[in-house]
Amino acid sequence: DITLKKAVENNFFVGVAVSATRTEISSYDEVYTREFSSITAENDMKMASIFTGIDGSGNIIYDWSKIDALIAYAETNNLNVHGHTLIWHRSLPQALENFNGTDQEFEDVIEQYITEVLTRYKGKINSWDVVNEAIDDDPSTQWRNTLFLQRMGEDYVEKCFAFARAADPDVKLFYNDYNMTFDAIKRGKVLAMADQLKTKNLIDGVGYQMHIDYNFPSRQEIQDATDELVAKNLLIHFAELDVKVNAANDLTEFTAERSLAQAQQVKEIVEIFNAIPQQLKYAITMWGLKDDDTWLIPENNGRPEWPLLFDESFQKKDAYQGFLQGL
Ligand code: XIL
């Protein structure tokens, strides 16, 4: 039988966001290993998940249990691992939120963190999102106002990439952000920053998150946004794909008609990605396996969603067939 990973014929990775807990459940394990060639931890490799404190000598205290479990899972099942994410303003350990040392001491902790994580997983994690969502949504503002900006200054992103490059010159370094396919101003800022980092040989790729809608952005917008990134000659990751069908809140259940429209959007995304020059295609990663696992639950999202390739019962949706048709 055809599977996603067979269908892409090793032209790029087909990824899925996972958790260490779910890899231990046989029904998830079966589909992860049958369909996918790469994993991203939905949360287990974020800073707040592994950085549990700072001891009296200024050394970071870690909980490696979940990340180690995922690495072992990937080794057993021959899966690529994309690391997500070293630095993100929404995943702050308590010890950094409450940090009362100097700015230099703060920066030293960040350098220690990046160095220790990359050194520990050298050769086991193929790529890392070094910084996630650092560019501001406001067109007139370059940097999002985060603790990292306040403590380390406007060159904090470059510093973090430099720490990562120094720790492991072989791991692929990515910058990752959202709204990249339709917010041309934000995208311009991201790509200009990536250009700067590339001049200094500090970056290898860019992730477009791709939390999108079934009817937005248009094919042309997504194509143009992809072409602009191709022109930068960096690896391309469609890093967190999910396709909302209920942004207008007009559905109380997933309909056959909307399902086909979603499949069409997935097909177009895959076609656009597949047409990227071979050497720049890194991965398409789905942000979850099945609809009832999505982060877009009513509590976060305000309404129900069905944004993934599999339904609650692990059955392939039309969107799954759309993925195959895009190849
Ligand atoms: C989300 C996870 O899916 C949620 O489980 C968690 O509560 C918050 O983070 N952009 C990113 C991802 O880069 O890390 C986010 O993941 C979704 C938005």
pLDDT digits over 33-82, tens only?
999 999 999 999 999 999 999 999 999 999 999 999 999 999 999 999 99
| Segment 187-196 long-range contacts (CB within 8 Å, at least 24 positions apart) | 187/225, 187/228, 189/135, 189/136, 189/142, 190/135, 191/228, 191/229, 191/232, 193/135, 193/157, 194/232, 194/234, 195/232, 196/158
Element (H, E) at 209: none
Cis peptide before 298 (omega within 30 of 0): no
Could you please report the per-residue DSSP string of 283-326? Answer: EEEES-SBGGG-S--HHHHSS----SSB-TTS-B-HHHHHHHHT
Task: Report the DSSP beta bridge partners of residue 316.
Answer: 310
Token pair recorded at residue 221: 């917008």
**CATH number of the domain encompassing residue 160:** 3.20.20.80
Closest of 251, 179, 248, 178 to residue 215, by C-alpha? 248
Catalytic residue (one of 42, 133, 158, 305)? 133
Q: Residue 200: pLDDT band by 50, 70, 90 thresholds?
A: very high
What pLDDT is recorded for position 71?
98
**Average pLDDT of the residues in 287-307:** 97
Overall domain count for the chain:
1
Note whether ipTM > 0.95 here. yes
Q: Residue 86: pLDDT band by 50, 70, 90 thresholds?
A: very high
What pLDDT is recorded for position 55?
98
Question: Would you call 133 a catalytic residue per the annotation?
Answer: yes
Percent of the chain whose predicted confidence (pLDDT) is above 70: 100
Ligand 1 binding pocket, CB closer than 6 Å: 42-43, 132, 209, 240, 295
The alpha carbon of 200 and the centre of ligand 1 are apart by a number of angstroms equal to: 29
What pLDDT is recorded for position 221?
98
What pLDDT is recorded for position 29?
99
The alpha carbon of 1 and the centre of ligand 1 are apart by a number of angstroms equal to: 32
pLDDT digits (tens, 9 = 90+) for 122-131: 999 999 999 9
For the CA of 178, the nearest atom of ligand 1: 10
The alpha carbon of 163 and the centre of ligand 1 are apart by a number of angstroms equal to: 24
pLDDT digits (tens, 9 = 90+) for 171-186: 999 999 999 999 999 9
Pocket test for ligand 1, best of 128, 295, 300, 305 (most atoms within 8 A of CB): 295
Query: b/e per residue, 175-206, with b = 16+ CB within 10 A?
Result: bbbbbbbbbeebbebbbebbeebbeeebbbbb
**Average pLDDT of the residues in 146-166:** 98
Question: Would you call 158 a catalytic residue per the annotation?
Answer: no
Q: Residue 307: pLDDT band by 50, 70, 90 thresholds?
A: very high
Q: Is the pTM of this model over 0.95?
A: yes
Pocket test for ligand 1, best of 86, 237, 240 (most atoms within 8 A of CB): 240
Percent of the chain whose predicted confidence (pLDDT) is above 90: 100
What pLDDT is recorded for position 140?
98
Domain, as residue range, for 155: 4-325
What pLDDT is recorded for position 35?
98
